[in-house]
Amino acid sequence: MSQFRDTFTKDQKKEPLLDYDDSAALYFFGTVLLCILLPWTYSLIMGILFPVKTFLKEYPVKSSGGSVIKYCKTSFSQDRMYKAKNESTRWSNRLTVSILIQIVVVILLWYLVAQIAISLGSETQISQFDPFVILEISSGATDREIKKAYRHASLKYHPDKNPNDPLAASKFMLISKAYAALTDEVAKKNYEMYGNPDGPSAMKVGIGLPRFLVEEQYQLLILIVFF
């Protein structure tokens, strides 16, 4: 067990201070989308339901200086204003090509916001270090079951078997910590006292960017977009 502790301590030193946080990126992106969509949607709905604003743009009540504008009272001018007001309220003029394009774009963006909300709602996050959740075993698991789960998970996420996954080392280290918290006496005592097999945890900074930014299959695309 001492040999495992030495290896565990050695790996622990390699733990990066910064990590990529998909959830934070989704929250940020969703918030930005909402800041754009809410006023855009409101303006679009108001423009469709109350098209009188279009008429007022053509025949404003007040000038930019604040003075009241008076229009000609002749029958020709009054008739022209009446036709312009009726024309602005027609549905064919409310739903122009540009308005229809905006509606489609807004619907697609709201769909994207809904998908982000669903993704955040269904995402299983570990609010605190839980070795049973990490190893995917029950709290009443036997030593044999713990060891079996550790072997399976460590083989699956071993960095040597996942050379193209930059996050494999972090996953492997987390699995090692979970196993230590359930088998190693010192780590178990730290976990019971501090909720972490390492003892009092140090600050760790997370970057609110999606993980795909560091995955190999997207590196070429990221470089193309960047340059």
| pLDDT for res 167 | 73
Nearest-angstrom CA–CA distance, 134 and 56: 63
| pLDDT for res 4 | 43
Tracing tokens 């977009």 back to the chain, one arrives at 225
pTM value is: 0.46
Q: Which residues pair with 206 in a beta bridge?
A: 19
The full 3-state SS of the chain, as one line of letters, equals CHHHHHHHHHHHCCCCCEEECHHHHHHHHHHHHHHHHHHHHHHHHHHHHCCHHHHHHHCCCECCCCCECCCCCCHHHHHHHHHHHHHHHCHHHHCCHHHHHHHHHHHHHHHHHHHHHHHHHHCCCCCCCCHHHHHCCCCCCCHHHHHHHHHHHHHHCCHHHCCCCCCHHHHHHHHHHHHHHHHCHHHHHHHHHHCCCCCCCCCCEEECCCHHHHCHHHHHHHHHHHC
Nearest-angstrom CA–CA distance, 102 and 110: 12
Burial class (CB in 10 A: 0-12, 13-18, 19+), 188: middle
190 with 196: CB under 8 angstroms?
Answer: yes
With a cut of 50, which residues of the chain have pLDDT below it?
1-18, 124-126, 202-203, 205
| pLDDT for res 35 | 94
Could you give phi then psi for residue 29, rounded to 5 degrees? Answer: -65, -40
Burial class (CB in 10 A: 0-12, 13-18, 19+), 34: middle
Alpha-carbon distance values, 155 to 42, 113, 169 (Å): 53, 37, 12
| pLDDT for res 17 | 37
